[in-house]
Structure 1
Amino acid sequence: MTQQLDMNRIPQHIAIIMDGNGRWAAERGKPRSFGHQAGVDAVRKITSECTRLGVKYLTLYTFSTENWNRPATEVAALMGLVLTSLEDEIFMKNNVRFEVIGDIERLPVEVQQKLKQTMEHTAANSAMTMVIALSYSSRWEITKAAHDIALEVAEGKLKAEDISEETLSEHMATAFMPDPELLIRTGGEERISNYLLWQIAYSELYFTETYWPDFDEEGLHRAIADYQSRQRRFGKTEAQVEEEEKQQKP
């Protein structure tokens, strides 16, 4: 499948909604925590393959602000997985830098410490940045950005009339990276679930029935191949895009 990909058109930022862990486990008569553990193995595979393909940013929806409403036992198991799965090996072996976005202060102190430690240990890595969205939701992020901008206006650091799309983008948790070109959701659901709503305005969306624990390198290749089959117009006409592509060719 790799041979069918145009290596010059690999998306530089891929965002993934990793869905289906619980259903994957239930079909095997196992507890949901078993599915989450299997999902960690899929993270390792996809991280390594994205690095190999030349993807520069991989953002994974790991735990939403709404997920705090799940049973306490499942939340505790998920927090435990965060602690045990942030292994330096996967990052150092693949030269991957680690970052996190979300309402981190809501997390247990030991999880916050582990996240900080992993970010510090991988800060010099440069092949790819893997970002986990943890205790994250777009409504939280946009509300926080609006609050921060309002404070700057009140303090006289920013004029209200100078607020633009760029201002909002600069105050998002994702300000350090480009918007994703491709959003993948596994597990069969076809919704965005409060994930990167500002950033995916022009992202290509790809939905697959495959549960996240079963999503592998071939599944990733299929998603990228589908992305490459599309024409990204950003509001322009098909004819305009084709003319621009002709002019860019040597």
Structure 2
Amino acid sequence: MPLDTATRTWHVRPAFRGPEAEDPTLRAAYRLCRRTTRQHDPAIHALVQLMPAVLRPACWALWAAASVHDDLADQPDVEPALRAARADSWTRALQHDLAVGTSADPIRYALVDTAGRWRLDLSGLQGALARTRDDIHGVRLPDWAAWRARCNEGILPWVDQVRHLFEQAGTSLTLRLDRQAEYKRFIEGSQLTDILTDLSADLAEGELLLPLEALEPFPGAEADLLRRRWSPAVAALITEQTALARRWVSRPAMTRGMHPGPATLLDTAAALMRVQLDAIDAAGPTLLKRPPLPSLAARTRVLAPARLRSSLAWSLTPLTVPGPRSRVAGRREPSPAADRPAGLRPPPPHPDGVRPPRIPADRMPTHVAVIMDGNGRWAVQRGLPRSEGHRAGIAALRETVYGALEIGLPHLTLYMFSTENWKRDTEEIATILEAIQGELDDGPLRDLDLRHRWSGRPDRLPQDLVHALRREEHRTRGRTGLTLTTCVDYGGRDEITRTAAALVRAAREGEVDPDLLGEDDFARHLPHPDMPDVDLLWRTGDEQRVSNFLPWQAAYAELHFTQDHWPDVDRRNLWQAISEYSRRQRRHGAAVPAPAPSPERVM
């Protein structure tokens, strides 16, 4: 039976050659990621070796990227401001590399390849990268609640990428709902173990990452630690913290009922952390001078049986392995037919044969949002019922999506039906919703390389339409081209109100501390927390207002208003809007740098 060219389902065998074997540059990039992972964290490297061979390169890329970014933030002989600038520069470079599909930096090249090959959405890492940068300036946390929130911001997004990786391979790492709390506590235990292991390095920088609540029962311990002096108070504090970390990482119920491969990984991780905690307990005063290392014998006692168990588990497990990802250079272009997933087609060319402008990658927006206004007025001007304007607007919608695909836009969000549109005539409402349903069921966009998402309220829409919206989300979830978000029964204030309600519930359940809430906490509770901020908000119809559309995501969006009514729009209008955006200078509240004074002319 022929195998699909986009994905193959194989049993993992030792002879499998991973994606890094496809070209020498990529192979070298993944090897560097492997060395970086081994050097920075031998325990993580050992755990990755327990994974199927086909997943290891992706994990090396993820952990190497996290390590390199962390190193930029932790450079001991560099001023904090310069470290922060370097960390920000690395993050911006990653965003650029993801947009163009390649990188000159080997570790980012491997990460970009991993994201494309395994269909990982790395936008969820933005909060973790920002937290690493913020920690450069030092953060003292008052209590365990704040400490947990901070730790989870930094590590959970990276762990979630590994979880998504397993899911893409066909092996779920999803935990039962009644074990989610145990999983979070396990992650917190790993973070506390890391803090105790790296105590000497942090103290050398004048940093102490334990919360004040942990230090208060041991008077004098904080001052002694900052002076790097071992004392009875410090010894008691370390004993207390290692015992706490040991309790947190020992969660045997967490992996019950889980696939034996991932279960072995988590159980082995817990065992390795207990071995590390034993080394911390045994270190005594040397803990303040250098990181403690467990003995080779202790690690071998954990890893030897784990290798046997994991080998057996994965040898019996079929995994979905992606095929080669075509290398992209320069501006994103639609994939050639040979590389496009089976059954998908390119957007049809414009009738006039026009092609999109070439926009430099660093001037290209990531996310364009459109208020499609003017359908009714277009119809009235032609003596037609308003409903005919909405039907005519469908052609403009298709053209805009075609243009977004051709120019390589990653995210496009369309305002199709607002919460305020229920005030309109019943017949007009029915026409709009029927047009949306028709596109979802039989429209030509179904066969394009776009991932469909829906934002809006499900309780007032016809259930057939809700079913169609959710069906398309599920059907297109694995596609890697344009992410098309349709806002149907959407209102910005309604979204913010529902998000606030979700935060209240989270606070009531002890998941967040109301006194420590930040923008990132709010963003994580939005219906689509991974939606990037809007770079360009475009409205047609000769109106100049944002009409309750994406108020949170579009806070810093560039605004573009045009006189054309929506049915008169085609892909060239989108390209014109993007071209204008590329010429603007975005400052996000910063001042425009003053030009350097011209040198005095010597007479």
TM over 0.5: yes
Partner of residue 122, structure 1 = 476
Alignment check: 8 A CA contact 1:22 1:33 kept: yes
- Displacement of 1:162 after TM fit? 2.3
Corresponding position of 1:66: 420
3-state SS in 2 of match to 1:175: coil
Structure 2 gaps of 5+ residues are 1-353, 597-603
Amino acid at match of 2:406: R
1:112 paired to 2:469:
no
Moved more, 111-120 or 190-199: 111-120
User: Is the 8 Å Cα contact of residues 356 and 575 (structure 2) preserved in structure 1?
Assistant: no
Q: Partner of 1:94 in structure 2?
A: 448
Q: Kindly indicate whether the alpha-carbon contact (under 8 Å) linking 2:356 and 2:403 is maintained by their aligned counterparts in 1.
A: no
Deviations 1:61-112 (A, max 9, x none): 0111011111111111111111111146644432001000011221111111
Give the structure 1 partner of residue 530 of structure 2: 176
Distance 1:186 1:103 in 2: 24
State how far apart, in whole Å, the 1-side matches of 2:446 and 2:374 are.
Answer: 28
* C-alpha distance in 1 between matches for 2:356 and 2:502: 46
Find the residue that maps to 2:593 and give its secondary structure: helix
Residue in structure 2 matched with residue 188 of structure 1 by the alignment: 542
Check conservation: 1:99, 1:131, Cα contact below 8 A. yes
Paired residue type of 2:537: L
Counterpart residue type for residue 82 of structure 1: I
Match of 1:229? 583
State the Cα distance separating 1:184 from its structure 2 match. Answer: 0.2
RMSD of aligned alpha carbons:
1.8
Using the TM superposition, give the Cα deviation of residue 173 of structure 1 relative to its aligned residue in structure 2, in angstroms. Answer: 2.3
What SS does the corresponding residue of 2:377 show, helix, strand or coil? helix
Q: Out of 151-160 and 2-11, give the one that drifted further.
A: 2-11
Aligned partner of 1:211 among 543, 558, 565? 565
Note if 1:46 corresponds to 2:46: no
Map 1:131-170; keep pairs closer than 5 Å.
Answer: 131-170=485-524
Q: Distance in 1 between matches of 2:506 and 2:586?
A: 36
Match of 1:248 in 2: none
1:156-199 per-residue CA deviation (whole Å, 9 max, x = no partner) reads: 22111221101111112231220110000000000000001111
CA distance in 1 between partners of 2:403 and 2:478 (Å): 20
The change in CA–CA distance for 1:89 and 1:27 in structure 2 (over 3 A counts) is closer
Distance in 2 (CA, whole Å) between partners of 1:68 and 1:3 is: 37
Out of 178, 193, 201, the position equivalent to 2:555 is: 201
Identity %: 38
Structure (1/2) with the larger helix percentage: 2
Structure 1 residues without counterparts, runs of 5 or longer: 244-250
* Higher normalized contact order (CA 8 Å, seq sep 6+, divided by chain length): 1
Tell me how far apart the structure 2 counterparts of residues 78 and 3 of structure 1 sit (CA, whole Å): 30
Match of 2:389 in 1: 35
In 1, Cα distance between equivalents of 2:357 and 2:405: 18
Deviation at 1:2, TM superposition (A): 5.5
How many angstroms apart in 2 are the aligned matches of 1:79 and 1:125?
25
Matched residue SS, 2:376: helix
The CA distance in 1 between the partners of 2:433 and 2:446, in whole Å, is 22
Quick check: 2:356–2:407 contact (8 Å CA) kept in 1?
A: no
* Structure of greater Rg: 2
Pick from 359, 364, 367 the counterpart of residue 6 of structure 1: 359
Q: How many residues align?
A: 242
Higher strand share: 1
Shift of 1:19: 0.1
Deviates more, 1:24-33 or 1:4-13: 4-13
- 1:55 corresponding residue in structure 2: 409
Shift of 1:4: 5.0
**Alignment counterpart, residue 82 of structure 1, candidates 424, 433, 436:** 436
Q: Secondary structure at the match of 2:379?
A: helix
TM-score, normalised with respect to structure 2: 0.39
TM-score of the superposed pair, with normalisation by structure 1? 0.91
Kept after mapping to 2: 8 A contact 1:88/1:118? no
Residue 25 of structure 1 is matched in structure 2 by 379
Do the aligned residues in 2 keep the contact of 1:5 with 1:224 (CA within 8 Å)?
no
Range with bigger deviation, 14-23 or 64-73: 64-73
> 2:459 is paired with a residue of what secondary structure?
helix
